[in-house]
Amino acid sequence: MISTEAATGFARFFERRHTELARLAHLLTGGAETADDLAADALATVRRDWERARRAGPPTTYARRRVIALARGRARTATARRLGRLLRPDAPDRHGRSPHPGAAAHPGRPDACVVPDVREALARLPFRVRACVVLRHACGLSERQTARILRLPVGTVRRRTDKGTARLRRLLGAPAVDHLRSVPHPSARRQPPTRPS
């Protein structure tokens, strides 16, 4: 049972950090609805572990770690689905849609050549690289802060960030880091999660 004081502290934390965490999830997963769900799930865990999270350091670090862990799980599931589509390229997706809806509009034009926005380009990065790029450039964290959240050496964060940023520049044909800060926040807002009685 969470104390009244802890519940009040968590409610203030939720108000300050929900949008930021949803945006982090949005950039890691590419979907606004998924992002809001991930942020809500992460915040529910933070609420459950509020006292422990506060004792371990800034609760924001703990919350970001939870968002990244949940997004990584979603990324693995999405990778498994993509692999299944590669092995069975003509099979419809789980919603019954054709795997190549735009193929008729652009015959002979490979999908790999079309990258309409930063989110799609981010989705092409390996998840570990994507996490570094998003935390550094979209969230504006330092290398040291990113390393603490991801539990990595600073040098590893630097290498992954450089690699990811260079790939984004190649994919987008423009300085990708300039576009990352302008990716909008997911529009949906949630109320602080409460434990069922």
Cα–Cα distance measured from residue 118 to residue 27, given in angstroms and rounded to the nearest whole number: 9
Lowest mean pLDDT among 88-97, 99-108, 185-194: 99-108
Higher pLDDT, 177 or 112: 177
pLDDT-derived band at 181, boundaries 50, 70, 90: low
Q: What is the mean pLDDT of the chain?
A: 76
pLDDT: which is higher, 103 or 8: 8
Q: Give residue-wise pLDDT tens across range 34-79.
A: 888 889 999 999 999 898 888 888 899 999 999 999 988 877 665 5
H runs (alpha helix) in the chain: 4-29, 32-48, 50-56, 59-87, 118-123, 127-133, 143-150, 154-172, 176-180
DSSP string, 94-124: TTS--S-TTTTTSTT--GGG---SHHHHHHT
187 vs 9: CA distance, rounded Å? 24
> Do 169 and 18 touch, CB atoms closer than 8 A?
no
| % of the chain beyond a pLDDT of 70 | 65
Cβ atoms within 10 Å, residue 130:
26
